[in-house]
Chains A and B, each alone.
Chain A
C-alpha cells in the first residue's frame, strides 16, 4: 500500500513513503540545519573544547555587520575572486578552444597545463609574493591561475568531445570551418565549459581565503588570521560561516546560469 502511494507521488522514491517534492526537500534541508546548530549549541553549552556558542557567534556577526567590517571584508574577498576568476575564464576559454581545435596548439600548450595542474595554486603564493610584492597582484594572479587551469581543461575536453556526426551534418549543409566552430563547436562544448566555470569558481574561492591568510590587509581570510592572534574564536566562526555562505551563493548562481544556457541538454 505504502509502496504504491510512493510510486504515485514520485518515481524517484524507491519504496520509501516520504514526500520528495522540492518544497518538502527544502523543509528537510532546514530541519537538518536546525538540528546541526542545536547540536553545536548543546556541545558548547557543556563547555567542550572552549568553542563559542551559536549565540556568541551571532552576536559577533551583528557587531561586525553594524560596524561595516563584515561587509568590507566580504567585498574585499569577493573583489579579488571576481577579478582573478574573470581573467582566468576569459583566457581559459579561447586557449581551451585553441587546444581542442588545433593539434599543434594542443601539443605546445598541453605540457604546461598538465604540469601546472599538478602544483596546488597555493604553492605558488610564496613565489608570487617574492616576485610581485604584497599588494593585490600576487593574490589575483594565484586566483587567476586556479580558475584558468580548471576551466582550460574542461573547455578543451568539451571541444574534443563534440560528436563527429554533428560536425559532418553541418559540413554537408555548407558550413565552413569558421561556421562549424562558431555554430557547432561553441554551443556543443558549452555544458563542459560550464562545469569548468563551476570548478574554477570553487577553486578561486578557496584560493582567495588561503591567500589572505598569508598576506593581506583586508578580506575574510585576513580577519580570521587577525582573530587567531587574539584568540577571538567568535570572529573566526563569523568569517568561516561567511566564506561558506558566499561560496554556496556563488555556486548556485553559476548553476542557475548553467541551467538556462544548457536547457537544451537531454538530462537523465
Chain B
C-alpha cells in the first residue's frame, strides 16, 4: 500500500544574504498511511510546524518534496484541510457561512451547502449556534467551527497545527475526545502537531518525536492502544509507559546538547 503522505528528504533552510542562517528542517523522511492518525511532538524550533506547512502547500521546501497520493505538493488545495491554532475563522461570517465558505468555492449549490454544513455543524455540536458570529463563541467553540469548516470540503487529509494549544486543559480534553469520535466516524488521514506529550499519545497510533537545531525526526513511538480511546486509558499503566517514553524522547536531545 502506498502511503497517503510521504515526506522525501524534505529540507527547509532560511537564508540571509545567500548563507544558511537557520535550518528549520533537515532531511525529513516520513510516511503516513491512509486513515492514520499521527501526532508530531517536539520542542519549539524542531520544525514540526514547518513540516506541516510544507505538506499544506503554504511553504515551499528548500529541497526534497512531499507527496500526497504520489503527487508532488505544489500549493494548497482543498483535499488537504488545515486547522490553525488561532482558529482563523472569518469574523464577518456566521458559523454556517464559515463552514460553507469552501463549499461555495467548490461550486456546491445552496441545498447541498445547507445539507453538508448542517451535518458537520451538528457533528461538532454547534447546531444552536449556526447563525452566531464568531465573536459570540468561546475558544473551544471557535475551534470546533474551524474543524467543521475544514471537514466540510471533504479533505482526504487533515493537517492540524497545535489546534488545542490556546484552550484550557478541560476544554482541550473534551475536544480531543470529540476529534477522535469524529475521526472514527469520518475517517481521514490526520497529521496533528502538538507540544503536549499527553495529547500526542492519547490521539495517535504513532507519535513522531522531533528534535531541534537542526529540526529533524528523532524517534517514532508506536502507540498500541486500541481505539476508541477512553478516559480510563489515560490513567492506565500502558499509557503512562508510552507517555514516559515520548517524554524522554522529547527531552533527551535537549539534555545532550
Contact = CB atoms under 8 A, between A and B. Distances in A.
B46 interface: no
B106 interface: yes
B135 A172 contact: no
B254 interface: no
Interface string B124-141: 000000000111000000
Interface in A149-187: 163, 165-166, 168-175, 179, 183-184, 187
Interface in A253-268: 262-266
Contacts of B77: 172, 174
B101 interface: yes
A163 B134 CA distance: 16
Given A166-B90, A183-B90, 20 more contacts: A168-B58, A168-B82, A169-B82, A169-B88, A169-B89, A169-B90, A169-B146, A170-B90, A171-B76, A172-B58, A173-B78, A173-B81, A173-B105, A174-B78, A174-B102, A174-B153, A187-B92, A188-B92, A263-B133, A264-B133
Interface string B75-101: 011101110101011111100000001
Interface in A175-210: 175, 179, 183-184, 187-188, 190
Assign chain B's interface to a size class: 20 to 34
A172 B90 contact: no
Contact of B90 (A184, A262, A263): A184
A173 B153 contact: yes
B84 A168 contact: yes
A165 B105 contact: no
A172 B56 contact: yes
B149 interface: yes
Contacts, number: 66
Main secondary structure of the interface of A (DSSP, over half): helix
The 6 closest A-B pairs by CB, nearest first: A173-B102, A169-B88, A174-B78, A264-B92, A172-B82, A266-B135
28 contacts: A163-B88, A168-B82, A169-B82, A169-B84, A169-B88, A169-B146, A170-B101, A172-B56, A172-B76, A172-B77, A172-B81, A173-B81, A173-B101, A173-B150, A174-B77, A175-B105, A179-B105, A183-B90, A184-B90, A187-B90, A187-B92, A188-B90, A264-B91, A264-B93, A264-B133, A264-B134, A264-B135, A265-B91
A102 to B, nearest CB: 20
Residue with the greatest number of chain B CB neighbours at <10 A, chosen from A170, A184, A263: A170
A129 B93 CA distance: 48
A266 B92 CA distance: 10
Contacts of A163: 88
Contacts of B90: 166, 169-170, 183-184, 187-188
B102 to A, nearest CB: 3
Residue with the greatest number of chain A CB neighbours at <10 A, chosen from B57, B81, B105, B150: B105
Nearest to A165: B88
Contacts of B76: 168, 171-172
A170 B191 CA distance: 20
